[in-house]
Amino acid sequence: MTCDVLEMMTDGLGIKPRNTHSKLVSGENTDSIFRLNHYPPCPLINNNNTNGSNIVIGFGEHTDPQIISVLRSNNTCGLQINLSDGSWISVPSDPSSFFFNVSDSLQVLTNGRFKSVKHRVLANSRKSRVSMIYFAGPSLTQRIAPLTCLIDNEDESLYEEFTWSEYKNSTYNSRLSDNRLQPFEKKAVSLND
């Protein structure tokens, strides 16, 4: 299913071959992982012990570093995504649906045409939230850079090339909420340089 979605995204960008992105996460040596999260009920929300904000963060704001993330959860709300204006909106809970998040590496591969989704999870006062996430990552030695078919010249590339291992190590040395792509963004060249 993950590969099918990546291939549809590749089609939408007019990239050939169709498996340009999906082949990065379908080999034997991929660094993909599956995680199960459990967020127990948080009665603090009802007791107004949240410093007036009336929200309790279950998992802080972040983007996922991999290529794409696939999420499925029980019937308890909590997932929120951050909009470009800085506001947060709740994603309706639907235990029969899968949610796909563009991750940092896909943002780089598409030279920013697809943006990594900043998200967080809020605790619920009465019900537990359980989520399952498949993080589709490439092999540790895979080189990540904007695809040449999406840029007319090297100056249009927004990111420096890196390996998945280099990026993964960089994310471990940063805070969850940091823009972890920033060290790999190409610096604007001044005309006076």
Which residues are registered as beta bridge partners of 100?
A: 70
In total, the chain counts a number of residues equal to 193
Catalytic (active-site) positions: 129
Pairing of strands 129-136, 162-163: unpaired
DSSP E strands in 54-145: the ranges are: 57-62, 68-73, 79-82, 88-90, 99-102, 119-122, 129-136, 143-144
Query: CA-based diameter of the chain, in Å?
Result: 60
Three-state secondary structure call for residue 160: coil
Q: Cα–Cα distance between 176 and 4 in angstroms, integer? A: 29
